[in-house]
Structure 1
Amino acid sequence: MQLRAPVVSTVGARRIRAAAACCAAALALALPGCGGHSPALTQAPQSAPPAPAPAPVRDHTAEAAKAANAAPAAEMRALAPRAALAMPRPYHLPLPQAADRERYGQIDENGVRLVAQAPVSTFSIDVDTGSYSNMRRLLNAGRLPPADAVRVEELLNYFPYDYAQPADGRPFAVHTALAPAPWPPSNVLLRIGIKGKDIASGALPAANLVFLVDVSGSMDSPDKLPLLKSSLKLLVNKLRAQDRITLVTYAGSTRVALPPTPGSDKAAISAAIDQLVAGGSTAGASGIALAYQAAQQGYIAGGINRVLLATDGDFNVGVTDYRQLKGMVEEKRRSGVSLSTLGFGTGNYNEQLMEQLADAGDGAYSYIDNLMEGNKVLVNEVSSTLATIARDVKIQVEFNPATVREYRLIGYENRMLAREDFNNDKVDAGDIGAGHTVTALYELTLAGQPGLADPLRYQPATPTSPAPGRDGELAHVKLRYKLPAASTSQLMDVIVARQAIRPLAQGDDDFRFAAAVAGFGQALRGGKHTGSWGYAEAHALAQGARGTDRFGYRGEFLKLVDLAQSLATSKPAHAGGAVPERAAR
């Protein structure tokens, strides 16, 4: 039997040759991308030129084959780019992320106090708002804030409330209100609201402003120095001819980048801002000293004299301990120059330092995470940011043991004072700016209601009988303050009557919205005192109390509550980064 070679059709042969050519082309394209030798190194050495080839013999069969292969060659050229695309590309590992070095002061949350044992609560007011915008920054970055980053009083005071203006010639008015608490309805919320008198920005006293700007290498980030410069330019547009602005910069060294310049010379001020460039280490303490020196040299009697420190707080040269820096600022404030802080940036942000320095400097702490916040602080609220109308404002509340069993102050943990500090005019407290609103909330358990603390065995089982004529009183609210140029305080007081309790649904929008914000802040901190009441309930309560919302702050709050709820159900706390450091107070 004679074997025959398999017969391949002309079309089949063409496909085989095209496939082989494609493989060869792909291999040729892949070899240069490999980590092996280059073509030059793989060529064999040539010791002598090759011998001349014999004269070719015309082969008609080969010519026919060449013509037949023309079409497969065209197919090969068309397929070669596809083969190149199919080759694996090199895989690059992501760069390691910098460790999260943000610092927050430790907050020991206020607990429930028995009126029978501690009937008096005393604290300083606080007008800081930085905790709110920092919380917003963290949520927008996909992270729930650490508990120590949430100061509930700063969330409350971020929002303006429609409290009535003072009508008796005093610098501010005090308002109280009562309604059931939304989390345990058996308890009652007492709201204490303060409204500073409004002063139009054009009617403010002449201002001597010294901006102390951190231009160290740590500020070389879009959310730091560039945002700071853009925010400062917003303020420049509000300056008047009688105002003066000085720019002091610090990095490895300090210098005056702009000597005292009238607010009318906006071109010179803007040009100096444009020239700010980041680089070097951070000698913050020497910068503070130079800024106060500049403020003293340009001091305006009867005017606004203020240093505004703009930084991420990452001091690393000279005095770096926040306690020493705080002591330095406390000493300098006696000169009549206050200090406010403007925080910027992420990753290495020292929030504890920024908040504590502002408290020590009789100023306000703000965190600027975007240009809208810069506009809020330096344009919309410039009067309250710069102009002080009352100093050392303290609040003391005495609860009636016959009508109130327990109480808890929500927030203000690092503003608590001793009972005797209330009447001591040498004890420093917070200041109120023009138009400022300040809100404080107490949660009360009324007498006859079950409380968290068991009754004592050796104390009376029933509440103490009230003084004659005071059985309908829940509390006596007292405030002390000093006028800006005074050294002696003045007293105000308000009686809180039980009959003032109204259903929560009948409370004004401001009361219900403040309750929602307080509940949200407590939920972010773990909800120790709010039980199962959480983000959904906070959103529902705030939604119904949005009111006019002139600047859209309350609408933004609703979005942040939704975002926090989504993050809480999808990620553990601190997801997306390292847990920030917790610093002792």
Structure 2
Amino acid sequence: METDRTRPGQEYARTRKPRRLRATLLALTAAGGLLLTACGAGGGSDSNTSNANNRTGFPAPAPAVTSGGDDSSERDGEQTGTPDDKIAPPPDYLSTFALDVDTASYGYARRALAEGRRPDPSTIRPEEFVNSFHQDYDRPDGNGFTVTVDGARTDKSNWSLVRVGLATRTADSATERPPAALTFVIDVSGSMSETGRLDLAKKSLDEMTDRLHDDDSVALVTFSDEAETVLPMTRLGGHRGQVHDAVDELETQSSTNLGAGVETGYATATEGLRKGATNRVVLISDGLANTGDTNADSILDRVAHERRAHGITLFGVGVGSDYGDALMEKLADKGDGHTAYVANDADAHKVFVDQLPQNIDLTARDAKAQVAFDPETVAQFRLVGYEDRKVADDDFRNDKVDGGEIGPGHTVTALYAVRTRPGADGHLATASVRWLDPNTRAPHEESGQLETDALHDSLNSAPATFQVTAVAAYFADTLRSTELPGNPGLGELASRAHTLAKETEDKDVRQLAEAIDEARRTD
């Protein structure tokens, strides 16, 4: 089922009378006891609050549906035994989106800046900047998520940044994950001859082949003006040499018939489909389709059909200084997967050796998040990014609507700019995540809450990981000129990023500081 996503405006103003709403909800709460307590908030001991401390005039989302339960009433936004009014905050105070772990936008922006040019603002997706950095959220023991909610006040009057952090369990040891059936669809068009494209892909595939398990399977499809299966699905045990030989023989040719590549790739994956394994197409391309079927919609229709019919997901790996970001991102989105971008050996190692094993296993299907802001304390809010991942608020518990497919070892961060009411005190927001068990497809939910007194007094007093999140978001905001409240400008961002790089000794944060420096030079 294709995702029914809306694109509402990002800023919301109060439209209801809070005292009347408050009285109604207090009565309903006393009768039904339907408020949801926090299940895992972060940002210090004050942010994980009990139901007794929660502002009772503002409801959390409906209680989670237990495994195997009938959740039809919840999907319709109704609560059994209550009046016709829904036990939910006004729609203007809900924010709902499908989870996303893409990072390609940030990787491509760094590549462009390193070459002395500003990336096109249309390629900047702030959530992919934010999700490119390590987070230290608590993790669950099994499938599903933990929820961490924290925040910090900014220098701009009454504005704060609120971070919603979701984390899956740590990646299992290499012997515990299920086998994989990976079909690599490799662009060998003329544009891939540029250094850092096909040569980097071949090197990465060789290294990855040596790291995969004997019980894993690999197929190779190439495309130029036409597509060809150069290696059918092949078990690696005793056959790694065949894979290496096929990779070594890859050479660039002429045009880019990406549509044919996708179609042949999925046909090859379907032919080699393995039950009980993770079946995935890995598309490696610069995304510059110029022959054959270049219509994005028809290519995406092919991906969507195979995903529904066989559960084959897509992982897009982008390469090249000229990069078709929009097409690659849309392909991965419709293919229930995600995208990454590689510009050098270090990026390639991270994507193919570190990240790809995480994407072989799944801990959650169709994962969606919903944040409910308290109209008593919140005057206005804005989700930073996720424009292409928005979901209708009423579809949060509609399990026929797609969400994100998330594997072990992942974190997902959503950042909000929130303007609180002058003197506001008490409950600020409840964040919930809903997902389907990857095996049984039973629905589950987890929630966390945040109180105003748990907000850090300033960004500089917040934890280092929060500060990195804020710097990354403000950096993306600057590159696409969207004026996120509290943005201090590139000069201050560069200074803060360099300080954080020293404090954390994190090479990724150091690269962020260097990218900001390069952006300043392009002003």
TM over 0.5: yes
Contiguous gaps of at least 5 residues in structure 2: 1-6, 17-91
**d(CA) in 2 for partners of 1:532 and 1:490?**
37
* SS across alignment from 1:511: helix
| 1:508 to 2:463 alignment | yes
| Alignment match, 1:566 | 521
Match of 2:216 among 243, 256, 259: 243
**d(CA) in 2 for partners of 1:386 and 1:326?**
22
For residues 397-418 of structure 1, give each alpha carbon's deviation from its aligned partner in whole angstroms, at most 9, with x where no partner exists: 1111111111011111111111
Q: TM-score if structure 1 supplies the norm length?
A: 0.71
| Alignment match, 1:52 | none
Residues 201, 548 of structure 1: alpha-carbon distance in 2 compared, 3 angstrom cutoff: farther
Counterparts of residues 352-367 of structure 1 (less than 5 Å): 352-367=326-341
Counterparts of residues 26-105 of structure 1 (less than 5 Å): none
Q: Offset of 1:297 from its aligned partner?
A: 2.5
Q: Offset of 1:134 from its aligned partner?
A: 0.2
Q: Offset of 1:549 from its aligned partner?
A: 5.1
Tell me if structure 2 keeps the 8 A contact 1:116–1:401: no
Residues 192, 246 of structure 1: alpha-carbon distance in 2 compared, 3 angstrom cutoff: same
| 1:370 to 2:325 alignment | no
**d(CA) in 2 for partners of 1:418 and 1:537?**
37
| Alignment match, 2:104 | 130
| 1:344 to 2:319 alignment | yes
| Alignment match, 2:274 | 300
| 1:260 to 2:214 alignment | no
**d(CA) in 2 for partners of 1:420 and 1:188?**
27
**d(CA) in 2 for partners of 1:550 and 1:234?**
27
| 1:492 to 2:446 alignment | yes
**d(CA) in 2 for partners of 1:253 and 1:369?**
26
| Alignment match, 2:303 | 329
Tell me if structure 2 keeps the 8 A contact 1:410–1:440: yes
* SS across alignment from 2:211: coil
* SS across alignment from 1:377: helix
Q: Which amino acid aligns with 1:341?
A: G
Q: Offset of 1:179 from its aligned partner?
A: 1.0
| Alignment match, 2:20 | none
| Alignment match, 1:483 | 437
**d(CA) in 2 for partners of 1:551 and 1:298?**
41
Tell me if structure 2 keeps the 8 A contact 1:509–1:547: no
| 1:190 to 2:156 alignment | no
Tell me if structure 2 keeps the 8 A contact 1:383–1:435: no
**d(CA) in 2 for partners of 1:130 and 1:328?**
22
Counterparts of residues 141-152 of structure 1 (less than 5 Å): 141-152=115-126
| Alignment match, 1:91 | none
Tell me if structure 2 keeps the 8 A contact 1:231–1:378: yes
Match of 2:15 among 112, 116, 139: 116
| 1:278 to 2:266 alignment | no
Tell me if structure 1 keeps the 8 A contact 2:474–2:487: no
| Alignment match, 1:173 | 146
Tell me if structure 1 keeps the 8 A contact 2:221–2:264: yes
**d(CA) in 2 for partners of 1:276 and 1:353?**
24
For residues 122-175 of structure 1, give each alpha carbon's deviation from its aligned partner in whole angstroms, at most 9, with x where no partner exists: 1111100000110011001100112112111000111121111114x3422111
Q: Which amino acid aligns with 2:418?
A: L
* SS across alignment from 1:546: helix
**d(CA) in 1 for partners of 2:345 and 2:241?**
21
For residues 377-414 of structure 1, give each alpha carbon's deviation from its aligned partner in whole angstroms, at most 9, with x where no partner exists: 11122332332211111111111111111101111111
| 1:288 to 2:262 alignment | yes
Tell me if structure 1 keeps the 8 A contact 2:269–2:280: yes
**d(CA) in 2 for partners of 1:207 and 1:219?**
27
For residues 64-120 of structure 1, give each alpha carbon's deviation from its aligned partner in whole angstroms, at most 9, with x where no partner exists: xxxxxxxxxxxxxxxxxxxxxxxxxxxxxxxxxxxxxxxxxxxx9964211436111
Q: Which amino acid aligns with 1:355?
A: E
| 1:522 to 2:522 alignment | no
Q: Offset of 1:261 from its aligned partner?
A: 2.3
Tell me if structure 1 keeps the 8 A contact 2:166–2:412: yes
**d(CA) in 2 for partners of 1:114 and 1:420?**
19
**d(CA) in 2 for partners of 1:316 and 1:390?**
36
Q: Offset of 1:530 from its aligned partner?
A: 4.1
**d(CA) in 2 for partners of 1:312 and 1:489?**
37
Q: Offset of 1:243 from its aligned partner?
A: 0.7
**d(CA) in 1 for partners of 2:166 and 2:415?**
12
Q: Offset of 1:550 from its aligned partner?
A: 6.8
Q: Offset of 1:528 from its aligned partner?
A: 1.9
**d(CA) in 2 for partners of 1:376 and 1:185?**
40
* SS across alignment from 2:500: coil
Match of 1:432 among 406, 413, 430: 406
**d(CA) in 1 for partners of 2:506 and 2:272?**
35
| Alignment match, 1:211 | 184
Contiguous gaps of at least 5 residues in structure 1: 1-107, 450-462, 464-470, 569-585
Q: Offset of 1:527 from its aligned partner?
A: 4.8
| Alignment match, 2:25 | none
| Alignment match, 1:98 | none
* SS across alignment from 1:545: helix
**d(CA) in 1 for partners of 2:291 and 2:173?**
41
Q: TM-score if structure 2 supplies the norm length?
A: 0.80
* SS across alignment from 2:429: strand
Q: Offset of 1:505 from its aligned partner?
A: 3.1
**d(CA) in 2 for partners of 1:243 and 1:402?**
54
Larger Cα-atom Rg: 1
**d(CA) in 1 for partners of 2:436 and 2:10?**
30
Match of 1:201 among 155, 171, 174: 174
Task: Tell me whether 393-402 or 110-119 shows the greater mean CA deviation.
Answer: 110-119
The number of residues matched between the two structures is 438
Q: Which amino acid aligns with 2:15?
A: A
**d(CA) in 2 for partners of 1:212 and 1:532?**
41
**d(CA) in 1 for partners of 2:226 and 2:487?**
53
Tell me if structure 1 keeps the 8 A contact 2:434–2:444: yes
Tell me if structure 1 keeps the 8 A contact 2:215–2:236: yes
For residues 13-56 of structure 1, give each alpha carbon's deviation from its aligned partner in whole angstroms, at most 9, with x where no partner exists: xxxxxxxxxxxxxxxxxxxxxxxxxxxxxxxxxxxxxxxxxxxx
RMSD: 2.1
Q: Which amino acid aligns with 2:153?
A: P
Q: Offset of 1:547 from its aligned partner?
A: 6.9
Residues 192, 307 of structure 1: alpha-carbon distance in 2 compared, 3 angstrom cutoff: same
**d(CA) in 1 for partners of 2:319 and 2:404?**
23
**d(CA) in 2 for partners of 1:532 and 1:251?**
44
Q: Offset of 1:176 from its aligned partner?
A: 0.8
* SS across alignment from 2:202: helix
